[in-house]
Amino acid sequence: MSFTYLFYSNLIFRKSCNSCYYTNTKRPSDITLGDFWGWEKTNPTANTDDKGISLILCNTEKGKILFDAIKDDLDYFSVELKDCMQTRMEFPTPLNPDRDQFEIEYSEKGFAYVFNKYIPKQLSITNRIIDKVQKVCKKILRRK
């Protein structure tokens, strides 16, 4: 949860993310792979195992040929590009004004320091409880 909070606050992204050339659908690769956020709107029954769905974009004719060669081995459904568009496919990640300071403090003082400084106290307490419960659950599951 702490990682998730830092991730979505844009504190831990590389600097290049806020000026990324690939935040569009005109990509130089033959295929683009990513998480399919919003799949529920196009096929609400698709994610039966609740593990998420990958998005495959065929950007070139070669990409389409490659996909056609493997599609019989996949569970997939087709969607219109407009139905799978995500913010990061249109705009770069905004730069958090504290990002550089976060990086300096992380390098000099470590994770515990930045955790306590940048994560709201209430979230911090909740996060610590959740982290401990997850660790206990993982130990229990490993024993089985």
pLDDT digits (tens, 9 = 90+) for 104-119: 999 999 988 988 888 8
d(CA 23, CA 25): 7
User: Would you state the pLDDT for residue 135?
Assistant: 83
Against a cut of 0.85, is the pTM above it? Answer: no
Label residue 51 by pLDDT band (50, 70, 90): confident
Q: How many residues does this entry show for the chain?
A: 144
Whether 129 has a pLDDT exceeding 80, the answer reads no
User: Would you state the pLDDT for residue 21?
Assistant: 86
d(CA 38, CA 35): 9
In sequence order, what are the residues at sequence separation of 6 or more whose Cβ sits closer than 8 angstroms to the Cβ of residue 27? 57, 59
User: Would you state the pLDDT for residue 140?
Assistant: 82
User: Would you state the pLDDT for residue 121?
Assistant: 64
Domain locations in the chain? 1-19+95-144, 21-91
Mean pLDDT calculated for residue range 72-84 = 92
